[in-house]
Amino acid sequence: MQQDEVAARVRQVIDATGVSAREFARRIVIDPSKLSRSLNGTRRFTAAELARIADIGGVDVGRLIGTTAGAAGEVTAGAAATLSKVRSPSPSRSPSPSPEGGRPLQIVRETVRLIAERGFHAVRVADIAAACHTSTAAIHYHFPGRDELLEAAVRWCMDEDTRRRAEATAGTRHAGDELRLLIELQTPRTEQQRRQWCVWLDLWAEAARSTTVGRLHVEYYRQWRGTVADVIRRGVGQGVFRPVDADGAALALTALIDGLASQVLATEPGLPGTGAPAMHDALIAHVDACLTAPVSG
């Protein structure tokens, strides 16, 4: 079947990159489950997805969709024509360099940066296009609307946050040390951390209004609370923490982190008792008072 042929070509591209399917999905900024279903033939690749796959894989779109309308698989002749135009840059304009992950990931990264600086609703597609040195048409090609762009930005932020935590805590055996490290990572001390928290605040507001972003929000916090709960359970087993309801303790601690961080960001920097050090100290005090097992005499 033509759909199977398209999937087989995409598999070849993924294999050539030398990364997992999950990592490839992150690079083309789609949900890994969508990529899996498309590769298994239960979902059709969209024209925009095939364009991003070609972009990331460094291949011509024709290799994925075929050179004739009949070989284009699930892509219509009109969509194939659109893909060809996007892959053929104007002779009067040299293509802008893109970071790893190609144009879609560059767009997402610049979107996140601009959201942190200005707030989501103050960021125009034209601003993102200017930051990427491309046209608004190119932005809309990869992300047809603001909703799709916001969803991609949310996913990227979540993936980066998860990756950073995993790298920082790799090899940590003592549960108390790991929990304190997680708190350190979530404390808005540096400019980078403050920018990330500014993005999170905007995403929380959007999650209250958007069903799609709301689902992502629920998914992320389920994973985040699960990470904290697992550390607490391990600490109880090590005798580092007193016996507690790990899920309940994780819910309380993550909510405290969010609340204190939002207060830090909403307060003028430098005021005594309101900055990141005070937040960090309050969280550690909470861990010591509520979780840490007393030292036996």
Percentage of the residues of the chain whose pLDDT score is greater than 90? 18
CA separation for the pair 162, 3 (Å, rounded): 34
Residue 226's SS3 state is helix
The 8-class DSSP code of residue 45 comes to P
pLDDT of residue 269: 64
Give one DSSP letter per residue of 150-207, joined into a string.
Answer: HHHHHHHHHHHHHHHHHHHHTT---HHHHHHHHHHHHS--SHHHHHHHHHHHHHHHHH
pLDDT tens track for 106-129: 888 898 889 888 887 888 899 999
Percentage of the residues of the chain whose pLDDT score is greater than 70? 82
Report which of residues 116 and 71 the model is more confident about.
116
Q: Which of 96-100, 135-139, 239-243, 292-296 is predicted least confidently?
A: 96-100
For the CA atoms of the chain, what is the radius of gyration?
A: 23
First to last CA, the chain: 73
pLDDT of residue 75: 39
CA separation for the pair 173, 182 (Å, rounded): 13
pLDDT tens track for 219-269: 888 889 999 999 999 999 999 999 999 999 999 999 999 988 888 888 766
pLDDT of residue 274: 62
Mean pLDDT computed over every residue of the chain: 78
φ, ψ of residue 9 to 5 degrees: the values are -65, -40
pLDDT of residue 36: 87
